Amino acid sequence: MNIITKNFIATIGYIMLVYLNVSMSFAQVYSIEGYTIEKGRSLFLQLTQGTVQSKECKSFFSKLLHENDVHHGLVKTYLAMITAIESRDTMLPWKKLKLAEKAMASLDDQVHQYPNHFEIRLLRFALTQQLPFFLRNDLQVAEEKKYLISQFESNKDHLHTLVYKMALDLLTH
């Protein structure tokens, strides 16, 4: 076998390995019974920890949009956060900027539609804190933090555990 054939076989082997890995992850995500926002939050946490790929997480939330008993604004917010993570992870600068702008526009739209929804605003705040200075308005970030702190006390008994922990972490630092 010549070197070209060996490289070709190695490349095909790598592609098959990646395909099997993605297929197993995909099956694992869809083995979850039912689509609920609680399972979506847990899946999103796994995405932030790097144990699930954004494609699977995005697919789960897209399917969750079709459920009748979920808050569609919240689901769209999580989809925007997934886009933000894709922006963070891409290597191409122009794609990074495009995805970040798309995520922020979607988050701003959800906050505009649901201005009193604590979790939506908290997720937007979490993202804006991570943006580079030229993509965020520090005055808006400070005002958003003040608002969230003022609302935290009245909302803390109704928050999902993951959201509560995120709020404590973001608002106390």
Quote the distance between the C-alpha of residue 37 and its chain's center. Answer: 13
3-state secondary structure 129-150: HHCCHHHCCHHHHHHHHHHHHH
Question: Tokens 């030229």 correspond to what residue?
Answer: 134
Q: Reduce the DSSP state of residue 2 to 3 states and report it.
A: coil
pLDDT at 14: 42
Q: How confident is the model at residue 171 (pLDDT cuts 50, 70, 90)?
A: confident
Report domain extents, the chain.
1-31, 35-171
Distance CA(2)–CA(8), nearest Å, equals 10
Q: What is the 3-state secondary structure (H, E, C) of 25-77?
A: HHHHHHCCCCCCHHHHHHHHHHHHHCCCCHHHHHHHHHHHCCCCCCCHHHHHH
Q: What is the pLDDT of residues 43-96, one digit of tens each?
A: 999 998 889 999 999 999 999 988 777 789 999 999 999 999 999 999 999 999
Are 123 and 108 in contact by the 8 Å Cβ rule? The answer is: no
- The reported pLDDT for the residue numbered 142 is 87
Q: Is the pLDDT of residue 136 over 90?
A: no
Record the tokens describing residue 119, joined without a space.
Answer: 């979790």
CB of 102 closer than 8 Å to CB of 90: no
Question: Full-prediction pTM beyond 0.85?
Answer: no
